[in-house]
Structure formats: C-alpha cells, structure tokens
Structure 1
C-alpha cells in the first residue's frame, strides 16, 4: 500500500489534517508582512532640501516669513506634481545665485513620522538604494527557497522550520536597530532567505498530509492568509507611523511559531524516505485515531514509500514543444510576481487606505479562482485574470495623463483590478504548473518556477521607481503601463498551453510532450467504453465489434 492509498483509508482531509493545515497556514500571515515590509520601511516621503542655517525648517510651511525664506532658497520643481525641487537649493554669494545639491532634507510627516529612507536620507542621488534594498531582499528569498528546500530534505521539515523561525525572529528584531545601510541590506537579505524558506516548508507539509483529491483546493487558501498579513502590516503602519515600531510589531508575534516544535508532527513522507518506518507509523495511527478511522495496527512497511523514477530539470527543454511550454510558464511566473508586488509598491493617494484596499481585494480574487478553476479550466481562468488585470493597468495611462485629482478614484479602481488579476493568477499558476510538469521532473520544475518568479520580485521595485526617473504625469503612469503590457502578453501566451482540467497528470516526459494529442481516459472512462461495446451480426453472419462512446 502506497502512502496516498493510506491517506484514503485514514481520511484524505479529516479533522486532524484540517487542524494541521490551519496551523501551517498561519505563518503565511507573517510572510505577507515580511514580503511587503520594505514598502513601509523604505517609503520615501515627500521632501525638499533643508534651508541652511534655518534650524526650525519643516516640510510644512509654518507662516508667511517661513514661506518667504523657502521660496527664496528652494528652486521650483520642473515636475508638475511637486512644488519645490527636491534635491537642490540656491546659494547666494557676492550677489550671485548658485544652485547647489543639498545634503540635508526635511520630510513630510503626514504619512510616516520616520522611515529608514528618511532616517538615512536615501533620496535624490541615493534614491536608487531603496530599490537595491528591495532587490536584495527578493534575492534572499530566491536563495532561501533553494537552500532551505535542500536542508529540509536532509534533516527534516520540522527541524528546518524551527531553524528558519529562530533565524527570522533574531534578524527581524535586529534589523530594527540597523545604523548603516550596508548592515540593513545584509540583514534583509538573510531575512528574505530564512522566512520564505520556512513558509515553503509549510506549503509542502500542508500538502503532504492531504489526499490526492483534495490537493488542488488546499493549495490555494494558504494564499488568503498571506493577504491577512498584508492587512495587518497596513494597520500597524497606520497606528504606529514609525518604521522601527512597525518592524517590531511584525517581528515579535513571529515568536509564536517556536511553539510549533510541540504542535506539529514531522512529515511522514520524509520519515519514510529516511527509512524511519516506526516514526511514520506512529503519526499515521494518531491521525487515524483523531479522524475516527479504523486501520490495522501496522499499516506501513518498506514498500510504502513511492520511489518514482526521476529526471533532470533540463528534460523540460528536451523537445521543441516542451521548451515552448516551459518558457511560457516561466515567463508567466516572472510577470505574475512582478505585477503582484509592483502594483502594491506603486501606491498613489492615501497610502494606508489604498494599501489596505489592495490587500483586501486579494481575498475575493482567490475565492474566484477556487470557484472557477474546476468549471472553466485552468488555462481560460489564468488567461482571463492576466489579460483583464493587464488591460486595467494599461488604462491608467488615460486617467493619469488626461485627468486630474477628480479621476484619482478611477485610477485606484483600475489598479485594484490589476492587483486582483495578478493575485488570482499567482494562486492559480501553482496549480497549473504542477499539473503541466510531468511527475518525474515535477518537483524540479516547481523549484525552478519558484526561483524564476523571484526575478519578477527583484525587478518590480525598479519598475515601480521608474516613474520617479521620468517624472511628471507620464512618469506616474509608466510603471502601471509596463506591468499591464507584460501581463496581457503573458496571459495571451497561455492560450498556447494545453488544458489540464479533468486530465490525468503526465507521468513521463513523453506523456507530457504528447499531452495535447489525445484525451486522457481514467479507469472509469475505460470501463464505460467496454460497456458500450456490443456485438452485431453482419449480413454474412460474422461477428463485428462496434464501439460507441458518448
């Protein structure tokens, strides 16, 4: 009896698995916080040069005398969005006026009292450092997905998750006390690796105890908990208004997951792969008892663990058809990640309200996927989400260029639709890719896809900041136009992929290559065809077999 057969006997998604699944979904809340943390920490408030020798200078003009000094000292901005030049001031010598780059700034404190950007003056010539920090963080996520995945296969899921929790907790608290940019980005890189490596383990464990028929639906709700984390950080940012306290408000609750050492079991599949049959048997018996299922006193033996033949990841590019399919999938992973994070980074208007709205709309987007994925099919739903979200982002160019503040709600609405499309597509692409990759290379394919997606996350901050480089209203619209164009293109490319709904998963590279040539028939279909066979006597008395299929 194989492990999936055992799950059918003890309950594919019984009370024990539901309780365990909930516990493993909770860390996704913290992951949502950490993945979006730098949008708060590295937020660049409106700013201008501090007037030399004027110690009481503030971004908000206090009185007529202050206004007179500011207007005399600070050049007007060439950008119609800002009133004052943000990087230069006038220096008067011998009745001559010079324009000089400033080294001190005053910041608008309406949104944040202080961010790491305003603390370290990462503006003007150093503004690109904020994108560098976010890029390095997502680079850490890429490294963590690979390294912690390998480690979990070596020492076990449970030990690796505990290690991830300890590292993340220590570094996340420590980064709040960073005094230099270099220390800050090193710690953020390590946080990205540790915390996301941990959540990948939770994703794997949450599916390893779920039966085959329930894995598609249980693979999506964990993304909803991710959205709860984004809403939490929006609330903390609004209440605390200081990056230091927001960092601690996100980091401190992470200590709860240290208790998981006593609350969750080791993966039975991993125990079986290591030959630890008694430990796996003990866990299976406990699950059966909680689920009120009767099973033999000994159900696991040396034959329980599946040992499927494996292939190398390069087999995904072994034929022209497989190469085309893999490249389209990987491009969609990159674009989905880039749009998902980039739209959130490119927030205009009321920072906290809009951030919260962009988080809460993810929930109906993911529920939409759950409701339609087994009706309309993976390909159609994914293409729909990508194209609709992309078109919405593209349309913002008209509301920004040809409208004023009165069209800001419409611009926000279009951005929300873009975020909903990318959010739904992000949840769906996990399922779609898993079903398209053949069994012999499925784990390698999903690992490659997850790593490639981080490239999208690394590019996103630079695209989001491209508007500041261009400036003006067009610059304000440019990031969403880039996100939208890439999303539409990626969505349309998906039409070249085969549909996987109601199809058997390909086991070998050859089956994956021939996936589009014929319909797969499960055992029930084969039996129905046999039942539809009947004998008819021909005119000359010989028997002929006719096959009728509905």
Structure 2
C-alpha cells in the first residue's frame, strides 16, 4: 500500500479539512463532563429528618417544632435522629402528649430535607441516605461500567464497520439516554439509562480521537488528542458554572441532552477514515474521500500516488490481537500503554468523584480543576513535539503519583494545599492520557491500531470503574485511597522508564509479522 503519510503530505497534513473535522469531533467534549454531574454534585449526607406527617391527622394545627418533638427520637448530642422516627400510632393527640411514643422504626415515608446546597440531587430525589447511602457509589460505578462496556463493544465494532459508524452510534446513544436519565423517576431506571450513557460515552471518546488523528499527518498528530482534552477541560469549567446556576440534576441532564441532539445530527456528515478504508480494501471509497479532502484543502492528489494504493492481502490482515503478542517489542509497549492508561484513569476519577470533599467550595474546586487543565493540554502539544512521547509519559505519570502523595504530607485540614495538589494530580493524569492517545496511534499500524487502542481504553475504563471502590477505602483511613492510586501511577511510570527506548520514537515501528519484516 502506498505510504499514507505521503498521500497526506500531498493533500495537506493539517489543512482546513482536518481542522474542521477535528473541531467537529472535539466540540461534544464540552458537554461530556455533564454526564457525571448527577454522581459528582451530590450531598451524601444532607440535613434531614423522617417525614412524620402522619401525626397531622391527629392534630393538623401542630407547629413544626411540636411535630418533631413528638415524633422523632434524639441522638446523644441532642439533635433529632436523621434515620429513625417513632412508630406511627392510631391515638388522639392528647394520648400522644400524655403517654409519649417510645417504639422507634426506620423512616417508612421518606425524608424531609433542609438547608441543602442543591434544589434536587439523586440523593434527595431517590432518598439515598442512611441504609442506602452507598448507592451513590453504585451509581458512580454503573456509569463507569457503561463506559468500559462501550470500549469493549465499539472497539471491535470500529475495526469491522469503520471509525465513522463507531462514533456516530455512540453519539446518538448519549443523546437519547441523557434525556431518559433526566426524566427518570425510578432509581433503577436511572441506573439503566446511566449505563447506556456510559456505553455511548466510552465509544465516542475512544473512536472520535482515532477518527480525527487518522486524518492528521505525523507532524501535527498531537493536536488530535490534546485538543480533544482542551475542549473537555473547557467543559469542566462550564459544568461548574452550569451547576452553580442550575442546581437541579434533572434540568442539568436535559440541558446536556440539547447540544447532544445537535451533535447526533451533524455527526452523520463526518467523513470516514481513509486509512481504515484503504486497510479494509475499500480503495474506491478511500480515493473519493482523499479527493474531497484535497479539494477542501485546495490541493491536488498526485495521480501516481493514487495508482500505488493497493489492497492489503487477506493473509496480512489476519491475526488481530495475537499479532501484537507475536512481537516482543509491541508486547512491551502495549503493556506500558495499558498500565499507564489504567493508573491515570484510576487517579483522575478518584479525584473527580471526591471533588466535594477537598475542603473548598465544590463549585470553586470544579472551576479550578477545569481551568488548570486548559493550559496544561496546550502545553502538552508543545512538549510532545519538543521532548518526545516517552519522556513526557514517564514524567507525567511519576509527577502525578508524587503530587497525590503530597496531599497526605500536608494533611486533609489544609484545604487550599489539598485542592492544589489534587488539581496537579488531575493535570498530570490528563496529560498522560493525551500522550497515550498519541503514542498508541504511532506505535501500531492501521490494521492493529484500533485493537491496541481498544485494549488501552479498556484498561483505562477499568481504572475508572474501580475508582468509586477505591474511594470507599476511606472508611479505613482518609489517606488509604490516595496511597492506592498514587502507587499505581508510580508503578506505571517506573515500568515505562525501564522499557528500552526504541530508535525512531516518532515513527511507526517495524513489525515482525508472519515471518517477515514489513514497514507500516
């Protein structure tokens, strides 16, 4: 097959065509953070008491203070119980006043919430308190499980049916089930819809980056991954403002669904990856896409290059995942990328889901998280070209692990420093994610790229899936989760540093395939 890099050079490696496609695929990242609003912006233990309106049947004129004194037991500190009430009785009000109530029971008619930070959250709407308070972590786990399943499903799907379809279908899924989430009046329906949102999220995030970068030349490929993260960081800032002014999780979900509806329409006009078309033997379709790109970039494709495009033989296309493990070099680098993706995502989501417990105002903390990531991703574009992929990856992984450990050093009572180091930890993990996205594009040929990227994304989503579980280790001590995810960053960084540097890091490598070396 003709060197696709030469074809891109002839039509423009990063012309108007690539820029429009890249922006179109990155813009949805502004609203993607909103999918986590319902499981991040919650009050896990809001002020509340059992709904005891049953006593108003005996005397509808009771004041609130009298009602609470007659129907609620008190804790040792003198405060009304949050999880218990006196069992209802069929007495008149005088008998209740005279004899009092002694038998306690769990709240069987819901709770009344007061002094809440939000108008409505999944905690207050679904009463996820007392014995069901752990269901907040279940909700976090469910959406991350959906993201993992989306990677498992749409990774192989993209290999068989194309990057374009594997980006379009998840976009539609996100739109439909985000709306369903906002309309859910049952917690289990909410979990199902959040799982499906996660499926769309995982498929879109993985394939949108690949589709964008496969149209971009080697010299500008870092833009494909890093710009996507820049838009995501911008979305984090917008999220803080949106939740500050719209403190109802249902309305926030419906607001999220509106722009996703626009995305679900225009995403069908995104062109297919010419690399994938050529690799799949769709020569005619690939030539048409290349000619369209050349016209938009005001360039021409030399006819002699198009004539050299040949179909990859069926023998060369077989092997799949096992092909990677036939090469010791590829196996080593795949393990490095998988470890890095797992550890950085574990760290990122452990910090993200804990945003309300860092000591500062949650809206301010969220804004700091997003605003600090914006310049970091722009800096990452330059660092990738100046220092190379491997050195940047090692530095960000080790830096992320170190800054997270510094949270333990300063202590949890120093909110400003805790937020500072948590923000640095997220910055490093995010930069490492961008580097992994670029790295995997260059280490593997088109026929194996989606497989390798899919394995890396699966590892990253497993890290995200485990993050709520790791955060639950806080029951043993507040710094136990920090030790777990920072250690994972250190291990992956040390593995990368131990890997032998391969000559020609910024070029695609030589694969030993089917008994002969072949340049890809």
TM-score band by shorter chain is: 0.7 to 0.9
Counterpart in 2 of 1:10?
A: 11
Deviation (angstroms), 1:249: 0.8
1:292 counterpart = 2:303: no
**Partner of residue 414 from structure 1, selected from 408, 416, 421:** 421
**Partner of residue 262 from structure 2, selected from 256, 274, 287:** 256
Q: Which 10-residue stretch deviates more, 39-48 or 370-379?
A: 39-48
Deviation (angstroms), 1:246: 0.4
Provide the secondary structure at the position in 2 that maps to 1:21.
helix
**Separation of aligned partners in 2, 1:492 and 1:270:** 34
1:265 counterpart = 2:271: yes
**Partner of residue 349 from structure 2, selected from 341, 355, 367:** 341
Map 1:75-474; keep pairs closer than 5 Å.
Answer: 75-76=75-76, 86-88=82-84, 100-103=105-108, 104-260=110-266, 263-273=269-279, 275-296=281-302, 300-301=306-307, 303-305=309-311, 311-314=319-322, 316=324, 326-347=334-355, 348=357, 349-400=360-411, 403=413, 407-435=414-442, 441-467=448-474, 469-470=475-476, 474=477
**Separation of aligned partners in 1, 2:330 and 2:224:** 28
- The 1:227–1:109 alpha-carbon spacing in structure 2 relative to 1, beyond 3 Å, is farther
Counterpart in 2 of 1:505?
A: 508
> 2:342 touches 2:463 (CA, 8 Å); kept in 1?
yes
**Separation of aligned partners in 2, 1:187 and 1:480:** 31
**Separation of aligned partners in 1, 2:164 and 2:215:** 14
Map 1:28-67; keep pairs closer than 5 Å.
Answer: 28-34=29-35, 36-40=36-40, 43-50=43-50, 52-53=52-53
> 1:169 touches 1:255 (CA, 8 Å); kept in 2?
yes
Q: Which runs of 5+ in 2 are unaligned?
A: 57-62, 89-95
- The 1:90–1:354 alpha-carbon spacing in structure 2 relative to 1, beyond 3 Å, is farther
**Separation of aligned partners in 2, 1:23 and 1:318:** 37
**Partner of residue 487 from structure 2, selected from 485, 488, 495:** 485
Question: Deviations 1:393-435 (Å, cap 9, x if unpaired)?
Answer: 223234445x4xxx22122112112211211122122234445
- The 1:68–1:329 alpha-carbon spacing in structure 2 relative to 1, beyond 3 Å, is same
Question: Deviations 1:54-81 (Å, cap 9, x if unpaired)?
Answer: 999xxxxxx9958995998342579xxx
**When the two structures are aligned, how many residues end up with a matched partner?**
493
**Separation of aligned partners in 2, 1:114 and 1:181:** 14
Provide the secondary structure at the position in 1 that maps to 2:510.
coil
**Separation of aligned partners in 1, 2:228 and 2:238:** 16
**Separation of aligned partners in 2, 1:284 and 1:438:** 19
> 2:400 touches 2:424 (CA, 8 Å); kept in 1?
yes
Provide the secondary structure at the position in 1 that maps to 2:509.
coil
Provide the secondary structure at the position in 1 that maps to 2:120.
coil
Counterpart in 2 of 1:538?
A: none
**Separation of aligned partners in 2, 1:268 and 1:312:** 20
> 2:29 touches 2:228 (CA, 8 Å); kept in 1?
yes
Q: Which 10-residue stretch deviates more, 222-231 or 486-495?
A: 486-495
Provide the secondary structure at the position in 1 that maps to 2:117.
coil
**Separation of aligned partners in 2, 1:158 and 1:410:** 44
**Separation of aligned partners in 1, 2:348 and 2:50:** 36
Provide the secondary structure at the position in 1 that maps to 2:386.
coil
> 1:76 touches 1:85 (CA, 8 Å); kept in 2?
no
**Separation of aligned partners in 1, 2:4 and 2:491:** 41
**Separation of aligned partners in 1, 2:46 and 2:285:** 58
Question: Deviations 1:66-123 (Å, cap 9, x if unpaired)?
Answer: 8995998342579xxxx88654467899789677544533435442111112111112
**Separation of aligned partners in 2, 1:173 and 1:337:** 26
Q: Which runs of 5+ in 1 are unaligned?
A: 57-62, 515-521, 523-550
> 1:397 touches 1:478 (CA, 8 Å); kept in 2?
no
* TM score, norm. by length of structure 1: 0.78
Deviation (angstroms), 1:243: 0.5
**Separation of aligned partners in 2, 1:248 and 1:51:** 29
Provide the secondary structure at the position in 2 that maps to 1:460.
helix
Deviation (angstroms), 1:43: 5.0
For the aligned residue pairs, the C-alpha RMSD in angstroms reads 3.7
Provide the secondary structure at the position in 2 that maps to 1:508.
strand
**Separation of aligned partners in 2, 1:85 and 1:428:** 51
* TM score, norm. by length of structure 2: 0.82
- The 1:67–1:493 alpha-carbon spacing in structure 2 relative to 1, beyond 3 Å, is farther
- The 1:417–1:178 alpha-carbon spacing in structure 2 relative to 1, beyond 3 Å, is same
Q: Which 10-residue stretch deviates more, 202-211 or 212-221?
A: 212-221
**Separation of aligned partners in 2, 1:317 and 1:488:** 25
